[in-house]
Amino acid sequence: MKYFTPEKYLRLQARDTSAMDAADTDWEGAVADYERHLESIRPKLTESIRCLLDDYSLHDAEVFFMGRTGDNLVIALRLKTPPRNFLVLTYMLLETPNVMATNWPGENLSSRALWLVDEIDLGVNMQPSYGQSILFSNGWQVQLTFRDVEIVSVQAMLPEPVFRAERLAGV
């Protein structure tokens, strides 16, 4: 990752006010730099990649599964933003995904994988190709090289389960 490194993300978790303020300023600079980068490559992105960037907020989406089928990588997410639709992303891979564990302290690891941040870029070796680096809350960083992505948004038909405490409280 060039803009949203795991180290920058961890600095956002600082407890010290001055360190947190410095981390916020650094992060805001990274956001501005990445937005400029995206604008410079936007005309070269496929329609589906532009749709992924423009129409969905993936931050804090819960990852239900990630797996391969042939030359495709499938990631199923539950979006955090209402109406909390499910999103199924199918990447048409050009290379085997690179999955790396980060050196995150235990208190920063999540028991479930949430999509924290990602970066899209143009591929370097093959045309047309794209790269995406994704940082997950379980400490994984995944790097993909792909030719396109298919997006399927699914609205749940069954209601969300009601937790026992909510039922007891009459919520």
Q: What percent of the chain has pLDDT over 90?
A: 61
pLDDT 10s digits, 21-55 = 898 899 899 999 999 999 999 999 999 999 999 99
pLDDT-wise least confident of 36-45, 67-76, 95-104: 95-104
pLDDT at 116: 93
Q: Domain count of the chain?
A: 1
pLDDT at 84: 82
Asked whether residue 103 is assigned to any structural domain, the reply reads yes
Asked whether residue 1 is assigned to any structural domain, the reply reads no
Asked whether residue 169 is assigned to any structural domain, the reply reads no
List all residues 6 or more positions away from 133 whose beta carbon is below 8 Å from its beta carbon: 1, 118, 119, 141, 142, 143, 144
- What's the rounded mean pLDDT across residues 137-153? 94
Asked whether residue 167 is assigned to any structural domain, the reply reads no
pLDDT-wise least confident of 9-18, 28-37, 64-73: 9-18
| In contact, 140 and 99? CB cutoff 8 Å | yes
pTM of the model: 0.84
* Best CA proximity match to 47, nearest among 116, 154, 128, 124: 128
Asked whether residue 79 is assigned to any structural domain, the reply reads yes
* Best CA proximity match to 110, nearest among 67, 61, 66, 73: 61
- Domain residues for the domain of 151 are 6-156
Count of other CB atoms within 10 angstroms of residue 23: 19
- Where does the pLDDT of residue 127 fall: very low under 50, low under 70, confident under 90, or very high at 90 and above? confident
- At 71 the three-state DSSP class reads coil
Asked whether residue 48 is assigned to any structural domain, the reply reads yes
- What's the rounded mean pLDDT across residues 142-147? 96
pLDDT at 114 over 80: yes
Peptide bond into 161 cis (omega under 30): no
Asked whether residue 164 is assigned to any structural domain, the reply reads no
pLDDT at 126 over 70: no
pLDDT at 118: 96
- What's the rounded mean pLDDT across residues 65-80? 95
Asked whether residue 161 is assigned to any structural domain, the reply reads no
pLDDT at 139: 84
